[in-house]
Amino acid sequence: CHREFGECRAMLAGAGLLLEAFELLESSAARLGLDPGEREETVASVAAAVGGGGVVGGQVVDLESEKKQVDGRTLEYIHSHKTGALIRVSCTLGARLARADRRTLEALAAYGEKIGYAFQIVDDLLDELGDSRDLGKEVGMDKARGKATFPAVYGVSESRRLAALAVEGAKEALAGSALEKDPVLAGIAGFILARQA
Amino acid sequence: CHREFGECRAMLAGAGLLLEAFELLESSAARLGLDPGEREETVASVAAAVGGGGVVGGQVVDLESEKKQVDGRTLEYIHSHKTGALIRVSCTLGARLARADRRTLEALAAYGEKIGYAFQIVDDLLDELGDSRDLGKEVGMDKARGKATFPAVYGVSESRRLAALAVEGAKEALAGSALEKDPVLAGIAGFILARQA
């Protein structure tokens, strides 16, 4: 979008879609007959995941960290906020609206957090090692921009181990919940680790 | 903000504040005890004023129009969306939440539309004729960027006449409503026309 239409238009498209998301959330909440408390919690959980305490906050720290030596803790902050928060809320929002029990919601939140973490490690690895034809985007961009990445901080093989561990953890998080044997959730977790593109 | 912290951070701050606005709107709606219909209408009216059918849409057409010959109709579209829509919804939102009657809401919507229009004309005139020390920002930027402006399309004296006409119209819009003699609303309208900074 930013290459085809320019950065300004791309940013405006993002702002426009953000607003449509909240309109949609609001009209869906009305259709689902949520009570005021559920409604507020739903909107607040999405806004928190995207805003200064979520995606926006992670992106700011990511920018601050460019061309600097970054430790594992900062890296974790960036990724748990930049991608983790939105993946986590995406995993729980439907269940919350369907009035899932507390145990299921907690399982989904832990699952979402761990697949989000794995997703980001794999994304960093693919940028470092992947094939730009498979990925459909240029590789090596993180290094060129001096970005904080998992391979830069932990090395390639330790990053692979951390991603596999997170995916195992995601599957374990579902154990004992109603979703323990859910093939789609297990499949998504496995796919995140295996993807080459 | 964009000069001090760079464009990326400024855009992120904008996105973060947008999200905070919707969180605030949602928690205020809960505190005020709005029913689901009122709540949806409130959120939708703000989202519509800011999104693709409002500020974002006006800004996109503004960008498309740079360095082009623009007619009065396009200019009106840009400004009624870029600034008009948000000023209009700001004028009606509180009254809506206070459950003002229909006549008052219509009067405020018309008032907001007209002061928004006047605000934009005066803004264009100040960029063309104002003093950068008074304004606290550079002048002549619209011309330098090839922007569609009222003085460029209508000339300076016709633009002044249009602004005065809009402010008169704003005051007239309140006539016959409960806000007819409201000194603050009349004062704001007058200030928009008179401001030099």
- Return the DSSP state at B35: -
Q: What is the maximum span of chain B, computed from C-alpha positions, in angstroms?
A: 50
Give this complex's ipTM: 0.75
Six token digits for residue B46: 């703000």
What pLDDT, on a 0 to 100 scale, did the predictor assign at position B122? 94
What pLDDT, on a 0 to 100 scale, did the predictor assign at position A34? 85
Rounded CA separation A87/B49 (Å): 29
Chain B: give the shortest CA distance to residue A60, in Å. 7
Query: Does residue B8 belong to the interface with chain A, where contact is any CB pair within 8 Å?
Result: yes
What 3-state class would DSSP assign to B51? coil
What is the CB neighbour count within 10 angstroms for residue A41?
15
From first to last of its 197 residues, chain B has per-residue pLDDT tens of 989 998 889 988 988 998 899 888 888 888 888 888 888 888 889 999 999 889 999 999 998 888 888 888 998 899 889 888 999 999 999 898 888 999 999 999 999 999 999 999 999 999 888 777 776 777 777 777 778 889 989 999 999 999 999 999 999 999 989 899 899 999 999 999 998 87
Residues 6+ apart with CB under 8 A from B122: B163, B192, B193, B195
Six token digits for residue B154: 């209508």
B chain contacts of residue A39, beta-carbon cutoff 8 Å: 26, 30, 36, 39
Cβ–Cβ of A30/B40 closer than 8 Å? yes
Six token digits for residue B81: 């969306």
- Return the DSSP state at B66: T
By the 8 A CB rule, do A117 and A87 touch?
no
B chain contacts of residue A18, beta-carbon cutoff 8 Å: 15, 18-19
Rounded CA separation A109/A88 (Å): 6
Query: Does residue A194 belong to the interface with chain B, where contact is any CB pair within 8 Å?
Result: no
- Residue A113's φ and ψ, nearest 5 degrees, are -60, -45
| Angle made by CA atoms A63, A69, A74, in degrees to the nearest 5 | 60
Question: In sequence order, what DSSP letters do the residues of A12-29 get, joined into one string?
Answer: HHHHHHHHHHHHHHHHHH
Rounded CA separation B26/B168 (Å): 36
pLDDT in tens, A96-138: 888 899 999 999 999 999 999 999 999 999 988 877 777 677 7
Of B8, B37, B59, the CB nearest to A12: B59
Cβ–Cβ of B19/A43 closer than 8 Å? no
A chain contacts of residue B36, beta-carbon cutoff 8 Å: 29-30, 33, 39
Six token digits for residue B29: 């709606």
Cβ–Cβ of A30/B22 closer than 8 Å? no
Cβ–Cβ of B15/A44 closer than 8 Å? no
Rounded CA separation A87/A118 (Å): 11
What share of residues in chain A are helix, strand, coil (percent, to 5)? 80, 0, 20
What pLDDT, on a 0 to 100 scale, did the predictor assign at position B168? 95
Rounded CA separation B142/B75 (Å): 13
CB pairs under 8 A between A and B: 101
